[in-house]
Amino acid sequence: MENELKENTISRRKFLKRSGGLTFLVAGIGIPAFVWKKEESAENNVQISAWVHLSTDGTVTIYNPAAEMGQGTMTALPAIIAEEMDADWSKVKIEHSPVEPKIYGIPWGGGGRGGSMLTVGSRSVSGHFENLRQSGAQVRFVLMSNVAEKWGVNIDELETQPGMVIHPKTGKKISYGEIASFAKFPEEIPEIPTNKLKKVSEFRLIGKDFQRYDIPEKVNGSAIYSIDIQVPNMVYGMINRSPVNGTKPELNNEAELRKIPGVIEIVNLDYGIGFIANSIEAAQQAKYTADINWKGQTKADNHNSQSAYKEYETLAESGNSGSMVASSGDFSREIPNTRKVIQADYKNDYVYHAQMEPLNAVAWVKDGEAEVWAGTQGTDGARSAIANHLGIDFKAVNLHPCYLGGGFGRRSMNDFVLEAVDLSKAVNLPVKLIWTRTDDIQFGAFRPISLQRLEAGIDASGQIKAWKHVVVGTGGGLLGSGADIPFYDIPNKHIEVRNIDHGVRTKHWRAVGHGPNKFAIETFVDEIAIDQKTDPLELRRQLMKNHPRELKVLETVAKMSDWGGKIPQGRARGIGFAERSDSLAAGVCEISLDRKSGKIKVHKIWCALDAGIVVHPDNAKAQVEGSLVMGLSSVMLESITFENGEVQQNNFHDYPILRMEDAPERIDIEIIPSIERPTGIGEAGLPFMGAIVSNAFASLTGKRLRHMPFTPEKVLELLG
């Protein structure tokens, strides 16, 4: 079947123009489905979604709408379709879906179709789950109804096995590939009622262990990231960007730079100077030789991150009120009635994404069209940003999504994509723009710095009656996530964010505010427990007693780690709990301390997770392992500092991230079986890491670490 859509984009056309077999263009819930035929109106394409192509040889191609940045959704999402359509997984091929948000996007909060294709917040599986099951079930329905017609039997007499429709009465069987050779589409594909979808107990793929689709090409160098793209006549771009956010460049030695062999063009950008050359070495030489004055007064000029904490303290003490995250009861009224008030401040420095693939993109701008290769978390956002930037139509932009060598939130920004477009436009050639690691750090967009003031009022019976949490920092909306504690029953709560804009770039970083906020909350809970001479597990049990699902997660980790049991000499443990993207996770770690060097070693981590139905358990565990380790890295080592608005770190020698020697020797993860809807997994292990290390450290030494990262210097200072 040849399908062609006149008005569509290059990638879309190529995608639909497949010879042989059927492309299933399955309707959104309640929307009639259409088969693309040449004569059909192109208007329909906004209403349907194309998820599956079935070839006559039985190959099932499933289109993945999400960015693959390591989290494994390019496997998990197709597995959901394959499950309901009963595809033979060994015959499934996975390809990127076209960048068409109306078809492949999901609304915020999930459910339904159409919305953004942005891959963030661990929302891919949870947001697509219902739709993809429906789509898979509809494909199965089309196959079965065709067989029913051909065999002259009632569709209710038919069943499926992976890749086969069977008629149990007669024992007749037919493969999906054979069906593709004669199948016709019904005018309308009905919505398959939820009770006709598979029951959890009937799943053959979901919840089972199968391999990730992308791994074979990730062990031999053949996986293609945007940095690997080669286009004929491609040249190379590098950029010097303003060291202080907002300053403007003035290049002093342009003539000299133009003499460097290989340099093709020098491009003035709003916040930098671009160098285009016929090799990376030449572009880099121009970049390093450039003599640039940075002009203009900016807000960021005066920002000194270490002294910012003083401002935050003042703001925390002031009567100012910021924006409320949550409140219940009346904190101010109740606090004087409590027997004891406990207060503590926690701090966290800026942290940097440090995705292993530095930002880069390849762009080719030509005659009112643009072709771009990028590893981006927001393919549709990038596509429209490019269109707007060039003043051309969305359809004139052909964006090729590539694998992402890590995203963690940084690749949800499009700055690097638009830079590549600007450079290409300047020379009318395909340009590969590469950020050096130093660029990537110095022009980073960081998880914000913050100070967290916590205050709790304890009554005579040892109950926490009042709780106040004021988060003071920069980055506005990034600060509040995870500050609420809906699973701890405290009658009077006041949770508030106060923001100071320093004019520096901040951005979502894996788990966003949950990292700092859960550090503060879960450490503070332990401080209260110590004060009340209660076991920290016991205190959490009391606080959570009306939340059985949360409690179960906590109890599971306690059991896994044998909480309260014997611990080797010189070691101690800490516990914590956090929710993220609706998943629930609890962790315990075991540490030791080198008192001479001040170095903390985390030996083991136990983690229990409730994420509803888990589509791909082994990969879910990998995600938890990864988020624990990345969390640990940020807790122990990572700090970006600003002096007069300039980032002080340059590369991995002065922004160390966790290496193998500091990785835990063992990580045990238990996933709690569930039939509830899936929730986000990619960040769930990260938020409690700061607290469990601080809690273990307090148990070992009696001293409290309250400022992340817990570097050896801070540890030695604390130990005195």
Partner 1 sequence: MTTSFILNGKKVEVTAESDAILLWTLRERLHLTGTKYGCGISQCGACTIHLDGNPVKACIMPLSAVEGKEVTTIEGLSHNNSHPLQKSWISEQVPQCGYCHSGQIMQAAALLKKNPKPNRDEIIKHMNPVLCRCGTYTRIMKAIEKTIQNS
70 binds ligand FES (CB under 6 A): yes
Write down the least CB distance from residue 405 to ligand FES, Å: 7
141 within 8 A of 86, measured Cβ to Cβ = no
Total residues belonging to the chain: 720
151 vs 225, which CB is nearer to partner 1? Answer: 225
Write down the least CB distance from residue 649 to partner 1, Å: 12
279 within 8 A of 262, measured Cβ to Cβ = yes
CA distances from 174 to 142, 158, 167, 356 (A): 14, 11, 9, 47
Beta bridge partners of 595: none
Instruction: Identify what 354 binds: ligand FES, partner 1, none; CB under 5 to 8 Å per kind.
Output: partner 1
For tokens 């950020």, what's the residue?
A: 435
Looking at beta carbons, which residue is closest to ligand FES?
356
Kindly give the pairing relationship between strand 159-161 and strand 92-96. Answer: unpaired
CA distances from 658 to 465, 594, 664 (A): 39, 17, 10
Q: Within 356-415, which residues bind ligand FES (CB under 6 A)? A: 356, 406
70 vs 105, which CB is nearer to ligand FES? Answer: 70
- Identify the residue among 70, 101, 475, 515 touching partner 1 (CB under 8 A): 70
d(CA 172, CA 140): 17
179 binds partner 1 (CB under 8 A): no
Q: Tell me the residue ranges of DSSP E strands in 185-308.
A: 235-241, 248-251, 263-269, 272-277, 292-295
170 binds partner 1 (CB under 8 A): no
Instruction: Identify what 572 binds: ligand FES, partner 1, none; CB under 5 to 8 Å per kind.
Output: none
149 binds partner 1 (CB under 8 A): no
d(CA 558, CA 587): 8
Kindly give the pairing relationship between strand 369-374 and strand 397-401. Answer: parallel
Q: Within 115-134, which residues bind ligand FES (CB under 6 A)? A: none
Compute CA 635 distance to the chain's CA centroid, rounded to the nearest angstrom: 19
For tokens 């599956």, what's the residue?
A: 52
Site string for partner 1, 626-655 (x = CB under 8 A): xxxxx--x-----------------xxx--
What is the helix, strand, coil percentage profile of the chain, to 5?
35, 25, 40
Q: Within 195-224, which residues bind partner 1 (CB under 8 A)? A: 211-212, 214-224
Q: Within 42-61, which residues bind ligand FES (CB under 6 A)? A: none
4 vs 654, which CB is nearer to ligand FES? Answer: 654
236 binds partner 1 (CB under 8 A): yes
Which of 517, 455, 456, 513 shows the shortest CA–CA distance to 485?
A: 517
Site string for partner 1, 253-272 (x = CB under 8 A): --------xx----------
Write down the least CB distance from residue 355 to ligand FES, Å: 8
Q: Within 435-454, which residues bind partner 1 (CB under 8 A)? A: 436-437
The values of phi and psi at residue 95, to 5°, are -130, 160
Question: Taking phi first (over 0 means left), then psi (-120 to 50 degrees means alpha), and beta for anything else, what does residue 199 get?
Answer: beta
- Identify the residue among 500, 560, 663, 672 touching partner 1 (CB under 8 A): 663
227 binds partner 1 (CB under 8 A): yes
Q: How many chain residues touch ligand FES (CB under 6 A)? A: 3
Instruction: Identify what 253 binds: partner 1, ligand FES, none; CB under 5 to 8 Å per kind.
Output: none
613 within 8 A of 200, measured Cβ to Cβ = yes
131 within 8 A of 47, measured Cβ to Cβ = no
347 vs 616, which CB is nearer to ligand FES? Answer: 616
- Identify the residue among 661, 675, 713, 720 touching partner 1 (CB under 8 A): 661
Tell me the two tokens of residue 689: 């890491």
666 binds partner 1 (CB under 8 A): yes
- Identify the residue among 71, 499, 556, 583 touching partner 1 (CB under 8 A): 71
Helix crossing, 514-531 with 617-636: angle to 10°? 70
Write down the least CB distance from residue 607 to partner 1, Å: 12
235 within 8 A of 429, measured Cβ to Cβ = yes
State yes or no: cis peptide before 548, omega within 30 of 0.
Answer: no
427 binds partner 1 (CB under 8 A): no
- Quick one: 238 exposed, middle or buried, by C-beta within 10 A (0-12, 13-18, 19+)? buried
65 vs 406, which CB is nearer to ligand FES? Answer: 406
Write down the least CB distance from residue 356 to partner 1, Å: 4
525 vs 620, which CB is nearer to partner 1? Answer: 620
The values of phi and psi at residue 482, to 5°, are 85, 5
219 vs 460, which CB is nearer to ligand FES? Answer: 219
d(CA 68, CA 402): 8
Write down the least CB distance from residue 711 to partner 1, Å: 18
Task: Kindly list the residues in this chain that would bind partner 1 in the complex (CB under 8 A).
Answer: 69-72, 211-212, 214-225, 227-228, 230, 236, 261-262, 279-282, 285, 354-358, 403-408, 434, 436-437, 618-619, 622-623, 625-630, 633, 651-653, 657-661, 663-664, 666-667
Task: Kindly list the residues in this chain that would bind ligand FES in the complex (CB under 6 A).
Answer: 70, 356, 406
